A = this chain, B = another copy of it.
Amino acid sequence: MTTDSGDRLVPEEWQRGPRYGGAYTFARCPATRDLSRADVAIIGIPMDMAVLYRPGARFGPRAIRDASGQLRPHHWDEAMMEPPYDKLRVVDYGDLDVFPGYIEQTMEHLLEQLRPVVDAGVFPLVLGGDHSSTLPVLRALAAKHGTLSLVHFDAHPDYWEGPEGRPYHHGTPFRIAVDEGLIDPSASVQVGIRGSLSESLIEKSREAGFHLITADEFARQGVASTLEAIQRIVNLPVYVSLDIDSVDPAYAPGTGTPEVAGLTSREIVDLVRGLKGLPFVGIDVVEVAPAYDSGEITALLAANLVHEFLMLLRRGR
């Protein structure tokens, strides 16, 4: 139900029908695994087996795609394409395969599925899934681009050390990523950290080298100062990982481990927009758990953030 206009696939919206109808891909972009005609691949990782509290992020990709129906353009009189889809070939690659209950096999299998995308030079824009789904993406990207800078929006540093023999859960991906050299903490920033009893965790993350800005600090210093820090610190190819729980539960109730006193929607949108010009190699938006959402507002926020990221990627093309 997409149209092939010469050398590229274009979102269905330009063709016909109400936005809420049709094939349920992200923003009605073409569903394909043909990487030869894509600049960006929207990829779902529908897993939540690594969640320590409320599960349901496996339905995150579906919820974000559903909510993305509200993204525009809609117009009647011309077939003109508008940003970002005029210059950026975005496809919906579908969801990757996961094995509930078998996280180690899942981690390997995800890496195998991601490698062809990265190898084809297609930019992965991942829809989680719980935060452990970031790890195989980092592994695939670091294998190509070397050690990365991380820009990380989250309520939690996700820098816990897993228990003996069970390294993976949704609080450990960045500890593992540092240990494996996938990211360089001294070239990385974490924004929005907060919650009960995380003092020692924050210290550990800072000891590892991360530039960590707590939600309290962010509330005092604001968007502009935070963006300055990010622009100053990241100096490697950039991976952005946006956990929707960085935002306050009022704006994003549909997530697994919400923490009060978080960012507003205005703030997260301004933070994302302010990342312009960074040398992105991969992006994810994770931890949307629609069973706890209300009126689809969490999924809608996530869909809009993906849209903002696409606008960033289009710049300069």
Binding site for B on A (CB under 8 A): 1, 16-25, 31-33, 44, 46, 48-56, 58-59, 61-62, 65-66, 69-77, 82-83, 92, 94-103, 105, 132, 160-166, 168-169, 195-200, 215, 219, 248-251, 253-254, 257-262, 264-266, 269-270, 291-297, 300-301, 304, 307
* CB-based contact A248/B251 at 8 Å: yes
Report which of B51, B61, B257 forms a contact with A21, defined as CB distance below 8 A. B61
* CB-based contact B50/A258 at 8 Å: no
Report which of B56, B295, B300 forms a contact with A55, defined as CB distance below 8 A. B56
Q: Known contacts A77-B161, A261-B269; can you find 7 more A-B pairs with CB under 8 A?
A: A18-B100, A55-B55, A101-B103, A249-B301, A250-B251, A250-B265, A253-B294
Q: Which residue of chain B is the closest to A194 with respect to CB atoms?
A: B269
| Stoichiometry (number of copies) | 6
- A sample of 17 cross-chain residue pairs with beta-carbon separation below 8 angstroms, ordered by A number, consists of A17-B95, A18-B98, A20-B53, A21-B44, A21-B46, A21-B94, A23-B92, A50-B101, A54-B59, A56-B56, A72-B195, A76-B164, A248-B264, A249-B301, A260-B265, A260-B269, A260-B300
* CB-based contact B304/A94 at 8 Å: no
* CB-based contact B52/A48 at 8 Å: no
Interface majority SS on A: helix, strand, loop or mixed?
A: loop
Given A58-B55, A294-B295, A295-B254, decide whether A49 and B16 contact each other with a Cβ distance below 8 A. no
Complex interface: chain B residues within 8 A of A163 (CB):
76-77, 99
Report which of B23, B83, B100, B295 forms a contact with A25, defined as CB distance below 8 A. B23
A195 nearest CB across to chain B (Å): 7
* CB-based contact B62/A20 at 8 Å: yes
Report which of B1, B69, B264 forms a contact with A31, defined as CB distance below 8 A. B1
Given A52-B74, A71-B197, decide whether A292 and B291 contact each other with a Cβ distance below 8 A. yes
A101 to B17, CA, bound (A): 14
A46 to B1, CA, bound (A): 16
Q: Which 5 A-B pairs have the closest CB atoms?
A: A21-B95, A253-B295, A101-B103, A76-B163, A24-B24
* CB-based contact B21/A307 at 8 Å: no
A244 nearest CB across to chain B (Å): 12
A230 nearest CB across to chain B (Å): 19
Complex interface: chain B residues within 8 A of A50 (CB):
100-101
